[in-house]
Chain A
Amino acid sequence: MGLQLTSNDQVLTLAPDSSSAAAGKKLANAKNWQNQGQNADALWGECQGSALYQVRVDLSTLTITCSCPSRKLPCKHGLGLLLLAVSTPRSVPHSEPPEWVTSWLAKRAANSKRKAYSEPQKPPASSSSAAILKNAEKRWAQTMKGLDLLDLWLNDLIRNGLASVESRPASFWEEQRAQMVDAQLEGLGNRVLRLGEIPNSSANWPDQLMAELGKLALLSHAFRHSEQLEPSLQMDIRQLVGKPIKQEEVSALGETVTDNWLILGQRVDAKEKVREQWTWLLGAQTRRTALVLQYAFGQTPFAEVFPLGSRQDADLTFWPGAAPQRARIEARHGEIFPLQDRLPGTNTIEEFLRQVASILARQPWQERFLCTLKDAIPVCHDKGKQGKQWYIRDSSGSVLPLTNDDHWRLLALSGGHPVDFAGEWDGESLYPLGVQVDTRYYLL
């Protein structure tokens, strides 16, 4: 590529002000420079000022850095070197860059790669519509290639038998995930990674693994045949494979629901560098369940603050989908009140499971469900040597298991009497979020 500028005027448009331009011109003389050179990627040189300043120019973006203390960008040294290279190319010979240039270029390349990964869909502003189309086609091809790889991998697993995965190292799953991420199918990739946790995790792990593999295959199948599905389900599938819906699309396509929202509980996953927080809301009138996801890096606080155990009038916009659940707060209205009344909820577990089934019928990959159960009794069942099993029992005698922890606070608050219970159901067990006893909501 090399230096694409041909005239001094082009260089001078980069100058932040006229005094920098004037000072730059003064430095555009070979006698001010040493060790200068250029190649296809960069231009560099050292300029003797109050100290020896090192100037580096990334020719692909015309990014200029200089070790001088000036706050002007670019500084006079950078402009001077560019002017020198444009006006007298002979004085800036083509050569191998020194280490201080190559290391800088490598760092920039790594940074830009990271940037590209986090903002995959931002086309360069100057691109023509043809270029955008071409890019889209390229990405599509990449995605389909990734999908082919996944299906091939799945078929191989089944051909060779699941018994063989028991001895697979973590990298077996991680590599497959990385391939999915490269193909911009992060959602599928994450599912692959979670598969790796199943082997040997319980006695019936082959059953569980095959169920998850099957659901993954269904998802890839559904994505391949999206056009046969309802538009709302297409939205879900698109998000599930890892092609997120942009906020503007949510605004345009999502439904906005105004209600008095009960803020029932929250969980935070801080395993990764980026913390994920999910908050459960329940509409007092509409009985709609909303899940608000927030992300924050490291210790930075989450943008939206939720007073748990309270209710507030608010407008929520739901992500478009066949069984919309994820939502964001559009606007809050009025005061925040503590939860004092009985929770709206189902009377029996059977009724709740029917609700789950009807959601699954619309969106088969839904994983988390809010369960609010009226007149529920927490039970600690002693199984002797096998430890304790915790349940929630409804008024008809049906039970669902609670997560595999101790739930002493819940048990103390209920005392074996019926209470209104809120929890998160993952298809296996309930994670208690809170409990309404008399006029108070207790977070668990």
Chain B
Amino acid sequence: MNAIVTAALLGTAQQQNIETYTGTPVDTLTEKLPPGETERNLLLSAGAWALYRQAGRVADSLPQPPEPAAPETLSLCSAELATLLESMLKGEHQELLPEALECVRRAALRIPYELLPTALAVQGAELRSAMFHLIGERGRWLSQFNPAWSWVSNYLPRGDGSEDAQLANAETTWQEGTLGQRQAVLRLLRTTNPTKAREWLSAVWKQEKADARSDLLSTLETGLSTEDEQFLEKALDDRAAGVRTLVASLLARLPTSALSRRMRERADMMLGFTGKTLTISLPTALEKDWLRDGIVEKPPYGVGERNWWFTQVLSQVPPTHWEERLAPSSDKIITAAYTNNEWCDSLIASWSSAALLHNNVAWCMTLWDWWCKKQRGTSDLGVRTSLLARMPQHEAEARVSNIFSDPKHPARKDWEEALAALPKPWSHSFGTLYLQQLRDYILSLDFKKNYSPYYDPWYQSLSTAMCALPQACFTLALVPWTIPAGAQKATWQTEYWRNELNTFTEALRIRQRLIMETMK
């Protein structure tokens, strides 16, 4: 610390000789100050010295600037498109963001640099994997400076060059990349060379942590075949229960696998058919080999453990097995299940999981139709809507339109959830039907006192429809909407409808502009 500052900190009252020496030309100035006024002289010296340093400031140096960003390979999107994206990223019509990003990606465009900090802040795996393709070289370069943007490094840059060169690149990434990148590399390789990918994984299997093992193993879903069985069967001896369950679900998908056979044998012991009724005998104890095959011992809260073991086994068995063993048609088997009051829910829930696991569309449809009729069995809304999503689009759409066209349909409650599960965009015919019914419905609204839009599925369905309607339906959807004259007096209910319809048409107009801008 300088003599002046030291003297000032202590206070001149405590000191005899005050030193103002700075070793700079300032000293020749301070020497000229009249003696006697100690405090004043110290202050003036400090001022002069401060100015001397301020005026003589020398900049630090940084010899090596960081590597600059590489030139872009994609073209820049239009200013109009950038504005649209920016407003969505900032929360306006956020629901259209997935479609917007996909449009820009398909058009092979990148977003402008000034938008990058906002773009890199997106949350959620779905948006991030889409955004990754839009940020260009500059975005990837920028992301290295902010830990919050490290997600970018989990995605693979678009490959260039020959297949061999790509494979060489992939191997480097596999050995040096982040977990996300390695997962992506493996999944990509599974589409072209599944054997090589499995060999890579098998080579490092023992060294990886349990979480990494799970993440990497999940890539085997892609291109899964009987060739993978040997590796998977060995992996059943894994220390981590989570990994074992994952391995088991992969093996269960291979109908010829030993595990699949073991599961079928266990299931056959528990489930039989008299030709009319289903007979169920639950396991009394959990065998060791069941545990090895990924069956979880402890049931979730509120479920009996024997029932829990039973449903886990049943969920793995392909539904076709029951057609061979119990009765030739899925309908007959499920009918029988619905006549068994005690076990109906367990059976239907397990079969629904099995239908989804084995991608059995026929069972998905039968299970869904029965649920619509009976309103029991598949109590989980997520599972139910998954059944719907697994069907071919026209089948799924036909089922949902049946519900909203029929005011007395038994599954009318929550039908907007089913609507939301439909593949997007909707078919032209389904969209048209929906719009017609919606218009009729709005005209029939009478806004009675106890009416609440919150519990009105039509009102709730608008937010799905604005994202899902196909382009071919835009003209029809943008014909002005009228709220019935019966509701002349503006109530909060009419206001809600008016606002929601405004949001609806606004979203469609944005989508229209989006499509136009990316077609350019």
A residues with CB within 8 A of B? 151, 154-156, 158-164, 206-207, 210-218, 221, 349-350, 353, 356-357, 360-361, 364, 377, 379-382, 388, 391, 393, 397-400, 408-409, 411-413, 415-417, 427, 437, 442
Q: Does B333 contact A (CB under 8 A)?
A: no
Q: In the complex, what distance in Å separates the CA atom of A415 from the CA atom of B61?
A: 20
Indicate if the CB atoms of A158 and B145 lie closer than 8 Å: no
A293 → chain B closest CB, angstroms: 23
Q: Does B116 contact A (CB under 8 A)?
A: yes
- The 8 Å CB contact of A379, one of B5, B11, B54, B66, is B66
Q: Which residues of A contact B117 (CB under 8 A)?
A: 408-409, 412
- The 8 Å CB contact of A159, one of B11, B53, B113, B116, is B11
Q: In the complex, what distance in Å separates the CA atom of A315 from the CA atom of B138?
A: 42
B residues with CB within 8 A of A? 1-2, 4-5, 8-14, 39-40, 42-51, 53-63, 65-69, 113-114, 116-117, 138, 141-142, 145-146
Q: In the complex, what distance in Å separates the CA atom of A211 from the CA atom of B39?
A: 14
Indicate if the CB atoms of A416 and B65 lie closer than 8 Å: yes
- The 8 Å CB contact of B43, one of A158, A350, A437, is A158
Q: In the complex, what distance in Å separates the CA atom of A377 from the CA atom of B117?
A: 18
Q: In the complex, what distance in Å separates the CA atom of A437 from the CA atom of B49?
A: 40
- The 8 Å CB contact of B146, one of A162, A408, A416, is A408
Q: List 21 A-B contacts (CB under 8 A).
A: A155-B40, A161-B10, A163-B11, A206-B8, A211-B50, A217-B44, A221-B44, A360-B51, A360-B55, A379-B62, A379-B65, A379-B66, A382-B145, A397-B61, A397-B62, A397-B63, A400-B59, A409-B114, A413-B113, A415-B138, A416-B68
- The 8 Å CB contact of A163, one of B2, B9, B116, B138, is B9
B226 → chain A closest CB, angstroms: 49
Indicate if the CB atoms of A162 and B9 lie closer than 8 Å: yes
- The 8 Å CB contact of A154, one of B1, B14, B43, B69, is B43
- The 8 Å CB contact of A357, one of B10, B43, B56, B67, is B56
CB contact under 8 A between A380 and B9, given known A151-B40, A210-B4: no
Q: In the complex, what distance in Å separates the CA atom of A160 from the CA atom of B57?
A: 31
A148 → chain B closest CB, angstroms: 12
- The 8 Å CB contact of B65, one of A154, A164, A393, A437, is A393
Q: Which residues of A contact B69 (CB under 8 A)?
A: 415-417
Q: In the complex, what distance in Å separates the CA atom of A211 from the CA atom of B48?
A: 8
Closest to B12 in A: A159
Q: In the complex, what distance in Å separates the CA atom of A409 from the CA atom of B66?
A: 17
Indicate if the CB atoms of B60 and A161 lie closer than 8 Å: no
Q: In the complex, what distance in Å separates the CA atom of A151 from the CA atom of B436?
A: 85
Apart from A162-B9, A379-B66, A413-B114, list 10 A-B contacts with CB within 8 A: A154-B40, A159-B12, A162-B8, A214-B50, A216-B43, A353-B58, A397-B62, A397-B63, A399-B62, A415-B141
Q: In the complex, what distance in Å separates the CA atom of A393 from the CA atom of B8?
A: 36
Q: In the complex, what distance in Å separates the CA atom of A388 from the CA atom of B66?
A: 14
Indicate if the CB atoms of B142 and A214 lie closer than 8 Å: no
A441 → chain B closest CB, angstroms: 12
Closest to B10 in A: A161
Indicate if the CB atoms of A218 and B59 lie closer than 8 Å: no
Q: Which residues of A contact B66 (CB under 8 A)?
A: 379, 416
A-B contact count (CB 8 A): 154
Indicate if the CB atoms of A442 and B8 lie closer than 8 Å: no
Q: In the complex, what distance in Å separates the CA atom of A398 from the CA atom of B63?
A: 8
Q: Which residues of B contact A400 (CB under 8 A)?
A: 59
Indicate if the CB atoms of A206 and B1 lie closer than 8 Å: yes
Q: In the complex, what distance in Å separates the CA atom of A206 from the CA atom of B4?
A: 10
Q: Which residues of A contact B55 (CB under 8 A)?
A: 356-357, 360-361
Closest to A219 in B: B47
B461 → chain A closest CB, angstroms: 39
CB contact under 8 A between A217 and B10, given known A357-B55, A416-B141: no
CB contact under 8 A between A213 and B62, given known A158-B8, A415-B68, A417-B69: no
Q: In the complex, what distance in Å separates the CA atom of A151 from the CA atom of B53?
A: 24
Indicate if the CB atoms of B10 and A399 lie closer than 8 Å: no
Q: Which residues of A contact B4 (CB under 8 A)?
A: 210
CB contact under 8 A between A154 and B62, given known A221-B44, A360-B51: no
Q: Which residues of B contact A156 (CB under 8 A)?
A: 39
Indicate if the CB atoms of B141 and A207 lie closer than 8 Å: no
User: Of B11, B43, B146, which is in contact with the most chain A CB atoms at under 10 Å from its CB?
Assistant: B43
Q: Which residues of B contact A393 (CB under 8 A)?
A: 62, 65
User: Of B1, B55, B68, B116, which is in contact with the most chain A CB atoms at under 10 Å from its CB?
Assistant: B55
B158 → chain A closest CB, angstroms: 19
- The 8 Å CB contact of B11, one of A154, A158, A207, A412, is A158
Closest to B11 in A: A161
Closest 8 CB pairs of A and B: A161-B11, A214-B47, A214-B46, A416-B68, A211-B50, A217-B43, A415-B69, A218-B47
Q: Which residues of A contact B54 (CB under 8 A)?
A: 360, 427
Indicate if the CB atoms of A377 and B113 lie closer than 8 Å: no
Indicate if the CB atoms of B11 and A160 lie closer than 8 Å: yes
Q: In the complex, what distance in Å separates the CA atom of A165 from the CA atom of B332?
A: 90
- The 8 Å CB contact of B113, one of A215, A391, A415, is A415
Indicate if the CB atoms of B43 and A213 lie closer than 8 Å: yes
A168 → chain B closest CB, angstroms: 14
Q: Which residues of B contact A164 (CB under 8 A)?
A: 11
Q: Which residues of B contact A442 (CB under 8 A)?
A: 114
CB contact under 8 A between A161 and B9, given known A357-B56, A400-B59, A417-B69: yes
Indicate if the CB atoms of B49 and A214 lie closer than 8 Å: yes
Closest to A388 in B: B145
B492 → chain A closest CB, angstroms: 32
B140 → chain A closest CB, angstroms: 11
CB contact under 8 A between A416 and B67, given known A217-B47, A221-B44, A361-B55: yes
Indicate if the CB atoms of B5 and A207 lie closer than 8 Å: yes
Q: In the complex, what distance in Å separates the CA atom of A162 from the CA atom of B138?
A: 50
Q: Which residues of B contact A361 (CB under 8 A)?
A: 55
Q: In the complex, what distance in Å separates the CA atom of A245 from the CA atom of B95?
A: 57
Indicate if the CB atoms of B145 and A380 lie closer than 8 Å: yes
A306 → chain B closest CB, angstroms: 21
Q: In the complex, what distance in Å separates the CA atom of A203 from the CA atom of B293?
A: 63
Indicate if the CB atoms of B59 and A350 lie closer than 8 Å: yes
Q: Which residues of A contact B12 (CB under 8 A)?
A: 158-159, 161
Indicate if the CB atoms of A415 and B114 lie closer than 8 Å: no
Q: In the complex, what distance in Å separates the CA atom of A215 from the CA atom of B44?
A: 7
Q: In the complex, what distance in Å separates the CA atom of A168 from the CA atom of B39?
A: 20
CB contact under 8 A between A399 and B59, given known A408-B142, A411-B145: yes
Closest to B64 in A: A397
Closest to B146 in A: A408
Q: In the complex, what distance in Å separates the CA atom of A214 from the CA atom of B359?
A: 82
A354 → chain B closest CB, angstroms: 9
A419 → chain B closest CB, angstroms: 11
Q: Which residues of A contact B58 (CB under 8 A)?
A: 353
- The 8 Å CB contact of B42, one of A158, A212, A382, A417, is A158
A280 → chain B closest CB, angstroms: 20
Indicate if the CB atoms of B60 and A399 lie closer than 8 Å: yes
Q: Which residues of B contact A151 (CB under 8 A)?
A: 40
Q: Which residues of B contact A408 (CB under 8 A)?
A: 116-117, 142, 146
Q: In the complex, what distance in Å separates the CA atom of A132 from the CA atom of B141?
A: 69
- The 8 Å CB contact of A215, one of B10, B11, B47, B68, is B47
Indicate if the CB atoms of B1 and A381 lie closer than 8 Å: no
A402 → chain B closest CB, angstroms: 13
Indicate if the CB atoms of A161 and B48 lie closer than 8 Å: no
Indicate if the CB atoms of A381 and B46 lie closer than 8 Å: no
Q: In the complex, what distance in Å separates the CA atom of A211 from the CA atom of B5?
A: 9
B77 → chain A closest CB, angstroms: 15
A159 → chain B closest CB, angstroms: 5
Indicate if the CB atoms of A217 and B59 lie closer than 8 Å: no
Closest to A161 in B: B11
Indicate if the CB atoms of A218 and B44 lie closer than 8 Å: yes
